[in-house]
Structures are given as structure tokens and as C-alpha cells.
Amino acid sequence: MSLSIIFMGTPEFSVPTLRSLVDAGHRIRAVYTQPPRPGGRRGLDLQKSPVHQAAELLGLPVFTPVNFKDPEERQRFREFDAQVAVVVAYGLLLPEEILTGTRFGCYNGHASLLPRWRGAAPIQRAIMAGDKKTGMMVMKMDKGLDTGPVALTREVEIGDTMTAGELHDKLMLVGAKAIVEAMSKLEHDELPLTGQSAEGVVYAAKIDKGETRIDFSKPATDVHNHIRGLSPFPGAWFEAEIAGRAERIKVLGSELADGKGVAGEVLSSDLVIACGTGAIRLTKLQKAGGKPLTADDFLRGTPIAPGTMLAAGLA
């Protein structure tokens, strides 16, 4: 047996779930994803989303509405007569007519341990806050923002040096397995639903460019969490005077280190930087227009001498 499913997702994070549902034998009636966006080196080419590309390779019909305000768009969704909709990082708000437009409703794979980190950036916010664990939750969607009852939970440990990119890739695979398991239980009427707690609600606001600059006046642990929570995208950064001019440099990796000095001061030749309390070592860096490099490789082409002050504070 199998379920008839409408799949809704957009980024690479969603692709393993789509493929896993197909591999599990479910019938994908339609795939919804966000419309092609300008891309390419000059931003002139329209690029299909990763889910769009994957769906085409799988021979699945793809739909890219800007929203669901059009009554004809909502009607088409209902006419697929799917048993359930699976939503993973789709990126569009779903009106009630879509949430109730299939027999069993819409089930969402969300990358946090709800009710902590509801919203747009749960992976980054969990690391930036220093959380030691997170997870994937499959929940039945309602009209609220990630407020629906939870059907299945899979916890994931967050390592001390794990970046948002690494956690993203781990949760992406954990989430795919969780959705397939949840759909199997739903098919056999064995999927329980538990309401979320009213306590411990935290919102994961979208990352703003204004918060990406590194503030070395903060404690070393906070700086380290900030760096790895924004790695590899959009990337935390600092400014330093190199060869007589100010350059912006992204930091994609760091670790806690021993050291003490003025916040933002380079303490050693291997890029130990003083923070408000404690110090960190920068382990992976990237100049504007350049490739990510280990600290050793970066310093061969861009020396940063001990005593150099890295610009601290908010932009």
C-alpha cells in the first residue's frame, strides 16, 4: 500500500525527503515549489529551485504559484484528491483551504525541538544560542506559525564545533527518514498527535545582515557560537587593515582557545583572537571573492600579525 501525496518544498534541505517518499513507494500527485529566481553570475538567468530540479528528474509534475490567493490555484490543489500533503521548507504561508485541502491535512518536517525555535531559522538560532541538542519534528500543520500538534520527534546532538551547514546536512537526512516513518504510521492509522507545550516557546527570526558582523567584545563562547551558527551562509565577518586598506573577511570556522587581551586583538601567529572574556582561534576564513581556506593557507597569502586589531562591534 501507499499514500497519494502532494509534496511542498523548495531548497536542497527538502530534496532527500521527496526522494525518500518516492523510494518508499508513495504516489506523488504533485510537487509545489517556489518559482524560479534570478541567478547566475549576473543574476539574469532564472534558476529553478533544487526541489523543482529533483522533481523533474523524477518525472513528477511541478507547480510554482507565487501564492495561493487565486481561487483557481486552491481549486487545483484540492482536485489532486491527495490523501496528505508533506511540507518541508516550502517558504510560503499556506491558507486554511490548503491546510485542509487533503484528506489527512498537511504534515510539516521542522528542524527544531518545538516549541523551541519556531520560525524561519531554527538551525542557525539553535547553534547561536549554544544549544546542545536539536532535532526534527513531524507535526500536523495548523493556522499558527509552527504551532501544530507533534506526531514524531528525532533528536540530534549539536557538537561543540558543529556549524550550521553541518547540522543542516545531518538534519536533512534525519528529517527524510522521519517523514517516511510518519507517513507509514499515518497510512496504518498509527500516527499519534500530541499538542505542543505552552512553555518554552522561542522564535527563530530570519537572519538579518546587520547581525552578521562579529562582536569580539562578547565572551569567547558567544563569539564562537555566532561564527559557527552563520557558517557557511551568510557568514560572520570582521574587518582588518591589510596591506594598507580595510578588508572584510568571513570566518567560517573557529574553536575556543587560551588567551587574554583587548577585545579584537590578534594574540598569536595562528590567529588566536582576544574576546571580551577568553579567546578564540579562527580556523577557516574567506576573503571577498575568494575561496574558503584553512587558517594556515589563508595566512600564507594574507598575513595578519599579532597585535593587529580586528574591528569589533556592530555594523
Answer yes or no: are the C-beta atoms of 105 and 140 closer than 8 Å: yes
| 115 annotated among ligand-binding-site residues | yes
Q: Quick one: cell of 203?
A: 522564535
Terminal-to-terminal C-alpha distance of the chain: 56
| 20 annotated among ligand-binding-site residues | no
| 231 annotated among ligand-binding-site residues | no
H helices then E strands: how many in the chain?
Answer: 8, 16
181 torsion bin: left (phi>0), alpha (psi -120 to 50), beta (else): alpha
Burial class (CB in 10 A: 0-12, 13-18, 19+), 59: exposed
The CA-atom distances, in angstroms, between 103 and each of 29, 82, 86, 188 are 14, 7, 12, 14
| Pairwise CA distance, residues 227 & 180, whole Å | 33
| 14 annotated among ligand-binding-site residues | no
Annotated binding site for (6S)-5,6,7,8-tetrahydrofolate: 112-115
Annotated binding site: 112-115
